[in-house]
Chain A
Amino acid sequence: MNMNLRKLIISLSSVVFGLLIGCLILILSGSNPLVLFESIYLSTFGQVSKFEYWLLYATLPLILTGLSVAFAYRCGIFNIGAEGQFQISSIITLAVAVSIVDLPFKGGAFIALIVGVIVGSLWALIPALLKAYFNIHEVVITIMLNWIAFYLSNYFIKTYLKGEYETTSLKISDSNLLTLNLESTDGFLSILLNMIIPIIIVLISVFVFWFIVNKTKFGYEIKAVGYSKSAAKYAGINEKKRIIQTMLISGAFAGLSGAIFTLSIAKLSVLASFVGYGFNGIAVAMLGQLNAVGVLFSSLLLGALSTSAAALENNNVNREISDIIIGLIILFSALGPIIYSKFSNKKGTKNE
């Protein structure tokens, strides 16, 4: 069967099974499962403000962390650290954006954005160097770095970047935001226009991901390293260098995510636990089968699921159901290829 069709079937059935089990849990706990779908609708197309929240705060950053995880995974690296790279980039972007003078043509926002990307990239460089030269598995290191980023970020919000209240940071001035703040005509179109810069940046990122992975020698080489490190080495690929470059790019995606998020939402709050863009990035990378366009559509869907939490709570359904479903969707999309190949192997042996 066609590879892409197979991937699409696996992704779609993962979503269906995830939602089905979610509904089952809702029924077992005495809630109406239809509320889930109603909430998803209400928090996406139901209202203009919800639409903005869904696209700008839930989906766009998620696409970028998804690309980050997927890019690293193509090279056989598991970037659990997207969360930390997102976090550290957010806080540094904020620091730059609140301290920089207002420049014309969103100059301040773009400077902050570039700094954020570099910071995310450098945060990812630590596990990359350790993996390439000390052969240390990236997972443990990135988990540790996530927590360091988490505590540092909270600390900076509480001290140097403290705003009006104890738990929120200073606010970025409107001219240093990426969003346009146009005269609102209260329609979906004006909302889209308002966030046109983040949307364009994200679409360019999706294209860049696709182009690097599918159209360049570099992309071919990192995939080779991902399949087999030693085989790639014997084929003359400098696998250490590729690992480091891959992580730098992966970190840049996560950093861009944090920067765009911060430069749209204007201020950050002290967190009780991780925001989750990095972890949900794992979900969309898996669901999108590590494919740029797949990540884009998966993010729209999982972004809708995670923003529906508030609407669910309003309907007396516990919001955690959305996280449970997201977890199940990762599980099924990772299991899909395994089950598929088992199934087709059995068929193959029968034919012999």
Chain B
Amino acid sequence: MNNIILLLTGSFLLAAPFIAAALGGLYSERSGVVNIGLEGMMTIGAFSGTTVMVLFDNTPFTVTLGILCACLAGMAFATLHAYLCVTLKMDQIISGVVINMVTLALSIYLCKMFFASNVTPLFSADSIQVISKINLVTIYVFVLAIITHFVINYTKWGLRVRAVGENPQAADAMGINVSKIRYQSVILSGAFAGFAGIILCLNIVTKFTPTTVSGAGFISLAVLIFGRHRPLNLIFAGLTFGFFKQLGIISMTSDIEFIPSVIFDILPYIITIIVIIIVSRGKNSEMESLGVAYDKELR
């Protein structure tokens, strides 16, 4: 029984960062820009957020400040991504790869510079407001998913994001500034990714280490695809992945050792591949211009 409670609460805690980053990816990809750099934006978010929280520990606004700083750091690199992909029309995958590489190295570099170690000191766990074992930020994430659902589907801006991602030529002809919308979406995705990064620190370990993120950004990409780029589906997709991850963690410490933990490690990725195959059979017209830089002259 204890294990079941642990499994459920753990799933929620682990799912929160995946969902938050996947929401970020959703804004970016619905506007037509692939964001492989989620992983890196999470890393820099986790590092800068944690650093600020360590510096201003034990104040009433520690968490708020940490989250704010994490979002800003994510946004900074997202702006770079937008500049490279939208303005300079560089290959969006390469841009993402560069961001992932540089942010991880930069975070560890700065961490060693500030704290003389590749791990930040712990911030006190009291800073995290706990409501029956699922902390407040986790709830924020679910609220954000619902808000995103309304923003994307029922607002003028959301319609523009979808239009720009689906058919930038038509959107441009209707007078929508394609570059502007894509910039806004990508930068917003950086804020979400940075937020996701700091949630990893808040929910799982109360410090930054070089392996804090290790792959969470890529799992978020998987969540995004599993959830078929729909905000409300992302909650379900994220919880599924969180569940498997928690199952893997529990299996290592408890008596279900007959299943090797590697199964739980690789299962989310295998599921994602299978889901992608299933999803791909139906034509996904709304994501048609994903990954293609918009060139006005080719209209």
A residues lining the B interface (CB < 8 Å): 25, 29, 78, 80, 126, 130, 134-137, 139-141, 143-145, 147-148, 151-152, 154-155, 159, 272-273, 279, 282, 286, 318, 320-321, 323-324, 326-328, 330-331, 334-335, 338-339
B266/A148 in contact, CB under 8 A? yes
Assembled-state Cα–Cα distance A155/B261 (Å): 9
A334/B266 in contact, CB under 8 A? no
CB-contact partner of A279 in B97, B262, B277, under 8 A: B97
Assembled-state Cα–Cα distance A11/B89 (Å): 19
* 0 or 1 for each of B85-128: is its CB under 8 Å from A? (1 = yes): 00011110111011001101110110011000000000000000
| Contact stretch, chosen from B53-61, B210-218, B228-236 | B210-218
Assembled-state Cα–Cα distance A32/B112 (Å): 16
Residues of A within 8 A of B91 (CB): 78, 334
A152/B262 in contact, CB under 8 A? yes
Residues of A within 8 A of B281 (CB): 134
Q: Which 9 pairs from chain A and chain B are nearest by CB?
A: A323-B105, A155-B262, A327-B102, A327-B101, A320-B109, A151-B265, A320-B105, A144-B269, A324-B105
B residues lining the A interface (CB < 8 Å): 34, 36, 84, 88-91, 93-95, 97-98, 101-102, 104-106, 108-109, 112-113, 210-211, 214-215, 218, 221-222, 225, 260, 262, 265-266, 269-270, 272-273, 276-277, 280-281, 291
A143-B218, A330-B97 given; 16 more Cβ-contact pairs under 8 Å:
A136-B276, A139-B93, A147-B215, A151-B266, A155-B260, A155-B262, A272-B211, A279-B101, A318-B113, A321-B105, A321-B109, A334-B94, A334-B98, A335-B84, A338-B88, A338-B89
Residues of B within 8 A of A154 (CB): 262
Residues of B within 8 A of A330 (CB): 94, 97-98, 101
- State the main secondary structure of chain B at its contact with A: helix
On whether A78 and B105 interact (CB within 8 A), knowing A143-B221, A151-B266, A338-B88, the answer reads no
On whether A327 and B98 interact (CB within 8 A), knowing A29-B113, A139-B36, A338-B89, the answer reads yes
A80/B101 in contact, CB under 8 A? no
B277/A148 in contact, CB under 8 A? no
CB-contact partner of B225 in A140, A323, A339, under 8 A: A140
A324/B106 in contact, CB under 8 A? yes
CB of B253, distance to nearest CB on chain A (Å): 16
Assembled-state Cα–Cα distance A268/B89 (Å): 40
Across the two chains, which residue of chain A brings its CB closest to B225? A140
Residue of A135, A140, A321, A339 ringed by the most chain B CB atoms within 10 A: A140
B101/A136 in contact, CB under 8 A? no
Across the two chains, which residue of chain A brings its CB closest to B210? A273
Assembled-state Cα–Cα distance A159/B263 (Å): 14
A324/B102 in contact, CB under 8 A? yes
Residues of B within 8 A of A147 (CB): 215, 218, 266, 269
CB of A305, distance to nearest CB on chain B (Å): 12
B98/A318 in contact, CB under 8 A? no
Assembled-state Cα–Cα distance A151/B222 (Å): 17
Assembled-state Cα–Cα distance A326/B97 (Å): 11
On whether A144 and B273 interact (CB within 8 A), knowing A80-B93, A273-B211, the answer reads yes
A320/B108 in contact, CB under 8 A? yes
Assembled-state Cα–Cα distance A330/B40 (Å): 16
Assembled-state Cα–Cα distance A335/B111 (Å): 29
Assembled-state Cα–Cα distance A326/B104 (Å): 12
B94/A136 in contact, CB under 8 A? no
